[in-house]
Structure 1
Amino acid sequence: MPSPCLAETVAVHGHHRRHQTALILNDRTVTYGELSDLTQTYRDRLLQLRLLAGSTVCVPAYKTPETIALLLAVFHEGLVALAPSPDLGAAALARLSQQARATHTLTVSASNALTADPVQGNEEEAEGFAPADPGRSSLLLTTSGSTGTPKIVPIAAAGFEAFAAWATHEFGLTPSDVALSYAPLNFDLALLDIWTFLQLGAQVVLVDQGRATDGPHVQALVATHDVTFVQGVPMVYRQLVEAGAVFTPVRHVIFTGDSLPDALLTPVSSAFPQARFHNVFGCTETNDSFIHTVDPSVPSGRMPIGRPIAGTDALVREPDGAIAQSAGSGELLVATPFQTDGYLNTALSTEAFTVIDGRTYYRTGDLVTRDEDGLYMLQGRADWQVKVRGVRTNLQEVEQVIAAHPDVAEAVVVPLPDEQAGVRLHAHVSRHPSSTLTSLRLRTHAGKHLPRHAIPTSVYITDIPLPRTSTGKPDRNLIKSNRMKETHT
């Protein structure tokens, strides 16, 4: 787990499994012995900084063996690591470091040099933020920042220990397994496909973030290293099935992040003929909280998020505030054995967490429907509900209709301000290679399935992938901002 216990476990692997592969990045292989030695090197250098016990340090989450070893060293020394996206601008990185009361920003080079830059404290910026508790959390992740400044989320060591135990049992993981780690190191998916696998003494194939959109490279990684475990957003699977390759060693395929389109199920099933397929659902605050076993031969129209995993309680809060007792629709509230104790920002914690019948629930902001059999379907986000000409419109439903067009690879729909309608919809669409899809044809398709108010007023079609956030999800804020700039120039 992201704690001294994980670091000690990896050190044990470094002694007993010294020549076994721990990490692969591009053409480089790092054994457990080498990872353990590198971790010890960074421990020695941390001691030279004479940091106070329990101090917080900022470690930009570059996805390299060196950064992973540095994080293990931080855990070993009882420090707390704030691990934000390395793609954050300098101002945002400084603000997060000040909010977390980090003493230094630590980075490492390929030559193993450790750079420690002091963080200029700012009590005004840190006001309202609780200090990280090293007795409960050794790792601070951040949300994607899709609604503004990223929130700092302490990952409870006990919570991760429970999660790792659940995942190991659920997927039957062993030291012989090989994970493809596609998501950035600062994303919560790394809790499973990096940290849980290292705890097991298994192998992790790191996808170089600079080559994450290189489909042939990702395909080669899975094929060359006999990967057995893959988890990722739909874009990962689009890349893996493009060449029609077959990945027989893969035992488990995990869909996460966004809903996988039905059109991908058949090619994914063909690409992984020996795999079991699972849709998992959760967020940084709760880790995975739902799981659904997928039968690719039975398209569902829209994939359920499934049922609560063991130890998770889920409630549906209806629009009137009442808790649905059986089937119903409303906001999803969850309580998991893996969730954070709260944001460092205490005011946000008060808003996001609520106690019901003695258990703390996280208000996800997700709108769901639960049927009589206890199966949950995601309807969208509460903040994805907009009014177009006074009519409430679900952006996710519009996206699903557009994405169902056979020439569409991916689609995002964003609301834009409009003087007459209040809000108008804009669709940003990535089409399949060699497609001749036009905006007129796409709007005609939308008109067959959507009411008039829900048909996007403007459509931008491109042959390149959608822009992404640091967590691999479509960057809706950037798409919206770019479109607004275009319309004002």
Structure 2
Amino acid sequence: MRPEAAALLWHSGEVSYAELHALAGAAAARLTALGLPHGRPAALVAKKSPEAIAVVLACLRLGQPLLLPSPELGAETLSALLERCDAVRLPAPAELTGGETQADTQAGSQEADSHTAGSGPDPQQVALLLTTSGSTGLPKVVPLTTGAVDRFTDWAAGHFGIGPDTTVLNFAPLNFDLCLLDIWTTLSRGGCVALVDQDLATNPAHLLALFQQRPVDVVQGVPMLYQLLTRAARTDAATAALAEVRHAVVTGDAISEQAFAPLPALLPKASFHNVYGCTETNDSFIHPIDPADPMPHGAMPIGRPIDGVTALLLAEDGSELAGPGLGELVVRTPFQTTGYLDADLDRGVFTERADGRYYRTGDLVRRHLDGVLTLEGRRDFVVKVRGVRVNTTEVEAALCSHPEVVEAAVLAVTDEAAGTRLHAVVQRAAGSPLDGLTLRQAVAALLPRAAIPTTVELVDTALPRTGTGKLDRKAVLRASKYAQGQRPTTTPAGG
């Protein structure tokens, strides 16, 4: 490792490996002084910063299991989560990394080194505890062992060629599993991480400044990131800054054909990849995107299993689907958790087979005649409308196929007469005169009668998104006319 080399880009400055090592040493000294109980998780509730990353590194060096919850959780939810994990909340990163003397820092480094001397870290020891989104209640806690993290960083570094001269953009918040590639793989190989400030993540100028500060080799992010980069590329200087990217990884959500279309020209040297995975398994599939045909079968394929991954499709009756058809994706990866921290939550989610433990993703995947897999929606997005099973994500896709639709969210809402009806909230293109009746008539040719939204609410602003750019359906519902007691225009079903 080169002490003088840049480890992090943060705003307009750089943090060298020597500086990051010193910050981690100071944090290790302070953590040691706190006398945390052996094996009891510590919780770092903080947004991304060089100091926060130093605290994570200190915990990894000390063998201290570290819980990384979202700093945006509500106070009651966070308190319940920490109680469930029996976790000790750490002071703010600035407190843990600042104010130490040189002797204290050296003592912290020596304490950390003593934990990793000899045979090295135990691969079965829990290193990080990540959380799910919590969209169905209190977030589930997903422990990852040192061995699982090391196996992932080995794969990611090899697949994307990440080494000492590589700069990788980190867009996701610190608590997301995407950081295993962006941050932890990069730092483990002596590369440089271009950190996007979480508070400025939707500011195209902030994103562009990182590319202009230093050529970025690898970019990973949700579709929203690429839309922001497209908006940022308004000048020749901006275009030149983006031209050095050699790997562009789309992850976290499906990208539309319209959103992908400008990317080959925007990133002319890049190889494009679509990556699929879950917090519980980490990355499972990867697909090399062909810019000439990015959407075979009308959608972006999720790809093929990456090295060491085994995947199955289960039909509705639980049988394994051998040929073409729709089924739930079940996977086993070298990087997955052994189970949730609360083992009671494993039931029905993790399943034992002859060759190991598999995770039921809940995602519905279609295998086509040529073997290509496409994501069709969620098992828990399937609702019954007038007795007919409808996948709301398929309805969203049909709505988004209209050329004047930017994005759509389809919500299953309670109806006194029908039991459940579908309400669509649709962002139309700027200046479009599109109305709900016209849109419903257009999708009537694509959907069965029960899947046509009964009501359509048209908006001219972007739909709410989570911190990493995924559609936030809960927020869409809260902001909808239904939640505000207004009645959207209703037209006869099928008309």
Q: In the alignment, is residue 200 of structure 1 matched against residue 186 of structure 2?
A: no
Residue number in structure 1 paired with 2:412: 415
**Is the contact made by 2:435 and 2:458 (CA closer than 8 Å) also made in structure 1?**
yes
TM-score, structure 2 normalization: 0.87
Q: In the alignment, is residue 390 of structure 1 matched against residue 379 of structure 2?
A: no
Determine the C-alpha separation between the residues in 2 that align with 1:296 and 1:42: 46
**Amino acid across the alignment from 2:221:** G
Note closer, same or farther for the CA distance 1:209–1:104 as it changes in structure 2 (3 Å cut): closer
**Is the contact made by 1:316 and 1:330 (CA closer than 8 Å) also made in structure 2?**
yes
Determine the C-alpha separation between the residues in 2 that align with 1:204 and 1:433: 36
Name whichever of 436-445 and 261-270 sits farther off. Answer: 436-445
Q: Name the SS of the counterpart of 2:91 in structure 1.
A: strand
Deviations 1:49-97 (A, max 9, x none): 1122222111014111111111111122221111000000111111111
Report how far residue 427 of structure 1 moved: 2.1
Report how far residue 26 of structure 1 moved: 1.7
Q: Which has the higher contact order (CA 8 A, sep 6+)?
A: 1
Q: In the alignment, is residue 357 of structure 1 matched against residue 354 of structure 2?
A: yes
Determine the C-alpha separation between the residues in 1 that align with 2:172 and 2:461: 20
Q: In the alignment, is residue 76 of structure 1 matched against residue 61 of structure 2?
A: yes
Note closer, same or farther for the CA distance 1:434–1:20 as it changes in structure 2 (3 Å cut): farther
Determine the C-alpha separation between the residues in 2 that align with 1:441 and 1:112: 59
Report how far residue 19 of structure 1 moved: 1.7
Residue number in structure 2 paired with 1:128: none
TM-score, structure 1 normalization: 0.88
Note closer, same or farther for the CA distance 1:24–1:111 as it changes in structure 2 (3 Å cut): farther
Q: In the alignment, is residue 367 of structure 1 matched against residue 364 of structure 2?
A: yes
**2:484 corresponds to which of 480, 483, 486:** 486
Determine the C-alpha separation between the residues in 1 that align with 2:32 and 2:376: 50
Q: In the alignment, is residue 263 of structure 1 matched against residue 231 of structure 2?
A: no
Note closer, same or farther for the CA distance 1:134–1:339 as it changes in structure 2 (3 Å cut): closer
Q: In the alignment, is residue 466 of structure 1 matched against residue 429 of structure 2?
A: no
Q: Name the SS of the counterpart of 1:186 in structure 2.
A: coil
Determine the C-alpha separation between the residues in 1 that align with 2:314 and 2:271: 33
Residue number in structure 1 paired with 2:199: 210
Q: Name the SS of the counterpart of 2:208 in structure 1.
A: helix
Alignment of 1:35-434 (within 5 A): 35-109=20-94, 112-113=97-98, 135-242=124-231, 243=233, 246=239, 247-298=242-293, 299-300=295-296, 301-434=298-431
Note closer, same or farther for the CA distance 1:318–1:192 as it changes in structure 2 (3 Å cut): same
**Is the contact made by 1:331 and 1:365 (CA closer than 8 Å) also made in structure 2?**
yes
Residue number in structure 1 paired with 2:3: 18
Determine the C-alpha separation between the residues in 1 that align with 2:430 and 2:176: 29
Determine the C-alpha separation between the residues in 1 that align with 2:49 and 2:460: 30
**Is the contact made by 1:53 and 1:78 (CA closer than 8 Å) also made in structure 2?**
no
Report how far residue 262 of structure 1 moved: 1.2
Q: Matched residues, percent identical?
A: 46
**Amino acid across the alignment from 1:331:** E
**Amino acid across the alignment from 1:240:** L
Determine the C-alpha separation between the residues in 2 that align with 1:249 and 1:199: 23
Determine the C-alpha separation between the residues in 2 that align with 1:214 and 1:487: 33
Report how far residue 270 of structure 1 moved: 0.9
Report how far residue 440 of structure 1 moved: 4.2
**Is the contact made by 1:42 and 1:70 (CA closer than 8 Å) also made in structure 2?**
yes
Name whichever of 22-31 and 36-45 sits farther off. Answer: 22-31
Report how far residue 324 of structure 1 moved: 1.8
RMSD, matched Cα: 2.2
**Is the contact made by 1:415 and 1:480 (CA closer than 8 Å) also made in structure 2?**
no
Report how far residue 480 of structure 1 moved: 2.3
Deviations 1:340-380 (A, max 9, x none): 00001111112211111131100111111223543222111
Residue number in structure 2 paired with 1:119: none
Determine the C-alpha separation between the residues in 2 that align with 1:28 and 1:437: 47
Name whichever of 93-102 and 209-218 sits farther off. Answer: 209-218
Determine the C-alpha separation between the residues in 1 that align with 2:427 and 2:196: 23
**Is the contact made by 1:146 and 1:476 (CA closer than 8 Å) also made in structure 2?**
no
Q: Name the SS of the counterpart of 1:210 in structure 2.
A: helix
Deviations 1:372-426 (A, max 9, x none): 5432221111111111222211111111122223333322212111112222222
**Is the contact made by 1:79 and 1:134 (CA closer than 8 Å) also made in structure 2?**
no
Residue number in structure 2 paired with 1:6: none
Note closer, same or farther for the CA distance 1:111–1:99 as it changes in structure 2 (3 Å cut): closer
Report how far residue 432 of structure 1 moved: 4.1
Residue number in structure 2 paired with 1:443: 440
Report how far residue 449 of structure 1 moved: 2.8
Note closer, same or farther for the CA distance 1:51–1:110 as it changes in structure 2 (3 Å cut): closer
Determine the C-alpha separation between the residues in 1 that align with 2:94 and 2:430: 38
**Is the contact made by 1:24 and 1:204 (CA closer than 8 Å) also made in structure 2?**
yes
Residue number in structure 2 paired with 1:8: none
Q: Name the SS of the counterpart of 2:45 in structure 1.
A: coil
**Amino acid across the alignment from 1:193:** D
The number of equivalent residue pairs is 456
**Is the contact made by 2:332 and 2:359 (CA closer than 8 Å) also made in structure 1?**
yes
